[in-house]
C-alpha cells in the first residue's frame, strides 16, 4: 500500500488525523491520535520499554517540555537550531531555498550549506515564488524552537526541540539519587516541538512530535557494554558511506571499523531487536553509517536506523556517539559539576544516543503490516501491538444471542481490549476487523446456545476453530501477550 492509502486508512479508522480538523485553515504539522492510534502507540512504547529500557536496566524519566533559555544556550540550539528560508518580496510567502532548488532541478541539495551557497544555487536554477512568480529575498535563518514567555515578565524560555536535554540536565541528580553505576542508560518518552518552515502533511515532518530517546552514559575509557556477549554475533544490515549495503555481525563490524566499539554495537543490536519484535523484517532495517561531514562537529560516530517503506528508506532512529559535548556544555553554563565517580575515578561521561521518532515508527509498523490485495486488505500487526485484540460478533441479533455475546464481551474486556460489533454480515465484520489490525474474532452462533462454544477466527491464517467459552479468555490472553524478552546476559 502507498503512503497516501495508509494515511487515508489511518484517518478513516481513527488511528490519527490532522489536529483541529474541524477548523478551516488549521496549521499543518500537528496531529491528533484517535483511539486506535493511542492504543497502537502505547503498545509500541511498551514493547520498546520491554526490549530496550527494561532489558538493559535503564532509568526512565519525564521532564518538563518548557525549559529556560540557559539550557538551550548550553545545548547549542539557540545559536544553531535554524533552517534557511527565503521570502517573496511581493506576496510574503515563505519557502526553504533547498527545497525550491531541489524541486526545480530534481537534484538533492547537500545539507548544512551557508546562506550564500543557497543564494547562489537559487540564482543558478532561477527559482521564483511558487505562489506569485515574483522575486525572492536572500536566505535568512529561522530558529526552529518555539519561544514562550514565562509569567508577566515574559521570561525567555523554549519548548524543547528534543526530549534529551532533560536527561542531560538531570544527570547529576539521577546518578546520585538512583544509586547507579556507569554505564547507565536514561530514557524518556514525550513530546518535542520543531517550528518547521514547511511541514509536510502526515507523520513524516511534524511541528509537534513524539520521541522516545535513550542516552547511555559511560566512561570513555571503558567501552564495554555489560551484555555485549549476547550482541556480538547478531548480524545487522549496514549502508556503507560509499553507498553499498552489507550484512555483518557486530563483532565483524567492530573489527572492520564500521562500528567504533562494543558499547555502541550492543545498543545498535538492541534497537534492531525492538523493530524486529514490532514486526519489521530484518532486511527492511538498515543502519546508514554517517560520514564525518554528515555528522555534527562533536559527533564521534553516527548511524541512522532506516526502514524501507513505499516512499523509500525513512530514518527512524538517530544513533549518535556525542562524546562529552552535552554534559560539558551544561556543566559550563550552569556552573554545576557534571562529573561522577566511576570505580574511584572522577569522569565526565560520554554519551551514546538512540533518538527514536515515535510517530514515524507507528506509521512504519502500520505500513509494514499491510497485507492482502484490493478489497481484502488486512493490517497484520503483531497480536501484542494490536489496539483491539479481539472482536465479539453475535451471528444474529435475536433469540438471546446478543445477550450471550454481550456477556462474553464483558467477560473478555476485563483482561483484553475488545470491540463488540453486531452490524452487517459476518464477512463484512471480519473485513472491518482485519483492516483495523484485530488479530482474533469471536463469533457466537446457535451452537453457542447449546454447547457453550464459539468460533475463534485468526486474521492471519483465516483459520477458524471451536473454543469453549470457559477457556476463551485464557487462550486469547496467551495469544496476545508480549513476547518474553530474556534479561540474561548471554541469550536472546
| 190-219: contacts with its own copies (CB under 8 A) | 191, 193, 195-197, 207-208
Contact 282, 237 (CB under 8 A): yes
Q: Where are the alpha helices (DSSP H) in 237-336?
A: 250-255, 262-277, 325-334
Q: Which of 170, 229, 276, 315 lies at the binding interface for its own copies (CB under 8 A)?
A: 170
Say whether residue 425 binds its own copies (CB under 8 A): no
Contact 98, 91 (CB under 8 A): no
Number of residues in contact with its own copies under rule CB under 8 A: 90
Instruction: Single out the segment in contact with its own copies by CB under 8 A; choices: 87-95, 261-269, 344-352, 394-402.
Output: 87-95
- Subset of residues 313 to 352 that bind its own copies, contact rule: CB under 8 A: 330, 333-336, 338
Phi/psi of residue 169, nearest 5 degrees: -65, -35
Closest CA to 101 of 121, 131, 130: 121
Q: How far apart are CA 367 and CA 359, in angstroms?
A: 12
**Residue with grid cell 541528580, as numbered in its chain:** 173
Instruction: Single out the segment in contact with its own copies by CB under 8 A; choices: 63-71, 280-288, 296-304, 451-459.
Output: 63-71
Nearer to its own copies, 259 or 437 (CB): 437
Closest CA to 187 of 176, 177, 206, 174: 174
Say whether residue 374 binds its own copies (CB under 8 A): no
Shortest separation between residue 305's beta carbon and its own copies, angstroms: 24
Say whether residue 82 binds its own copies (CB under 8 A): no
Say whether residue 258 binds its own copies (CB under 8 A): no
- Subset of residues 430 to 469 that bind its own copies, contact rule: CB under 8 A: none
Tell me how long the chain is.
492
User: Distance from CA of residue 290 to its chain's centroid?
Assistant: 20
Nearer to its own copies, 23 or 297 (CB): 23
Q: Which of 3, 17, 298, 313 lies at the binding interface for its own copies (CB under 8 A)?
A: 17
- Positive or negative CA dihedral for 193, 198, 202, 205? negative
Say whether residue 94 binds its own copies (CB under 8 A): yes
Shortest separation between residue 422's beta carbon and its own copies, angstroms: 11
Nearer to its own copies, 68 or 372 (CB): 68
Q: Which of 128, 205, 413, 475 lies at the binding interface for its own copies (CB under 8 A)?
A: 413
Q: How far apart are CA 365 and CA 385, in angstroms?
A: 9
The total of other beta-carbon atoms located within 10 Å of residue 341's CB is 12
Q: Which of 38, 78, 204, 348 lies at the binding interface for its own copies (CB under 8 A)?
A: 38
Amino acid at each position: 500500500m502507498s503512503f497516501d492509502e495508509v494515511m487515508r486508512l489511518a484517518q478513516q479508522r481513527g488511528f490519527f488525523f490532522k489536529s483541529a480538523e474541524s477548523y478551516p485553515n488549521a496549521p499543518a504539522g500537528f496531529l491528533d491520535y484517535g483511539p486506535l492510534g493511542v492504543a497502537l502507540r502505547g503498545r509500541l512504547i511498551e514493547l520498546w520499554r520491554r526490549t530496550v529500557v527494561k532489558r538493559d536496566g535503564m532509568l526512565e524519566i519525564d521532564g518538563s517540555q518548557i525549559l529556560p533559555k540557559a539550557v538551550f544556550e548550553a545545548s547549542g540550539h539557540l545559536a544553531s537550531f535554524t533552517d534557511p528560508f527565503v521570502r517573496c518580496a511581493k506576496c510574503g510567502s515563505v519557502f526553504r531555498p533547498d527545497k525550491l532548488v531541489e524541486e526545480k532541478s530534481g537534484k538533492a541539495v547537500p545539507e548544512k550549506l551557508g546562506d550564500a551557497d543557497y543564494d547562489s544555487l537559487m540564482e543558478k536554477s532561477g527559482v521564483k515564488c511558487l505562489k506569485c512568480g515574483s522575486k525572492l529575498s536572500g536566505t535568512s535563518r529561522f530558529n526552529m524552537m518555539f519561544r514562550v514567555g514565562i509569567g508577566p515578565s515574559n521570561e525567555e524560555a523554549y519548548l524543547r526541540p528534543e526530549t534529551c536535554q532533560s536527561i542531560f540536565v538531570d544527570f547529576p541528580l539521577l546518578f546520585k539519587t538512583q544509586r547507579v553505576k556507569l554505564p547507565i542508560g536514561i530514557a524518556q518518552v514525550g513530546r518535542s516541538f520543531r517550528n518547521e518552515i514547511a511541514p509536510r502533511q502526515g507523520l513524516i515532518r511534524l511541528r509537534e512530535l513524539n520521541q522516545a530517546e535513550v542516552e547511555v552514559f559511560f566512561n570513555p575509557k571503558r567501552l564495554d557494554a555489560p551484555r555485549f556477549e549476547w550482541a556480538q554475533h547478531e548480524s545487522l544490515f549496514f549502508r556503507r558511506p560509499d553507498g553499498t549495503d552489507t550484512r555483518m555481525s557486530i563483532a565483524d563490524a567492530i573489527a572492520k571499523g564500521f562500528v567504533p566499539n562494543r558499547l555502541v554495537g550492543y545498543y545498535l543490536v538492541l534497537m534492531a531487536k525492538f523493530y524486529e519484535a514490532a514486526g519489521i523484517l530484518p532486511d527492511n532495517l538498515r543502519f546508514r553509517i554517517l560520514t564525518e561531514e554528515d555528522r555534527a562537529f562533536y559527533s564521534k560516530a553516527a548511524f541512522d536506523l532506516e526502514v524501507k517503506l513505499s516512499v523509500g528508506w525513512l530514518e527512524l532512529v538517530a544513533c549518535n556517539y556525542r562524546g562529552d559535548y552535552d554534559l560539558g556544555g551544561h556543566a559550563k553554563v550552569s556552573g554545576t559539576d557534571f562529573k561522577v565517580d566511576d570505580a574511584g575515578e572522577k569522569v565526565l561521561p560520554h554519551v551514546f544516543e538512540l533518538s527514536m521518532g515515535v510517530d514515524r515508527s507507528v506509521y512504519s509498523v502500520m505500513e509494514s503490516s499491510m497485507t492482502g490485495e484490493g478489497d481484502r486488505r488486512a493490517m497484520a500487526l503483531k497480536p501484542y501491538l494490536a489496539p483491539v485484540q479481539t472482536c465479539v460478533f453475535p451471528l444474529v441479533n435475536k433469540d438471546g444471542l446478543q445477550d450471550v455475546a454481550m456477556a462474553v464481551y464483558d467477560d473478555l474486556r476485563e483482561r483484553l481490549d475488545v470491540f463488540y460489533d453486531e452490524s452487517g454480515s459476518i464477512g463484512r465484520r471480519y473485513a472491518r476487523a482485519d483492516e483495523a489490525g484485530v488479530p482474533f474474532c469471536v463469533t457466537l452462533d446457535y451452537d453457542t446456545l447449546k454447547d457453550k462454544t464459539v468460533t475463534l477466527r485468526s486474521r492471519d491464517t483465516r483459520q477458524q476453530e471451536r473454543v469453549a467459552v470457559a477457556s476463551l479468555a485464557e487462550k486469547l490472553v496467551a495469544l496476545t501477550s508480549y513476547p518474553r524478552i530474556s534479561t540474561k546476559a548471554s541469550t536472546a
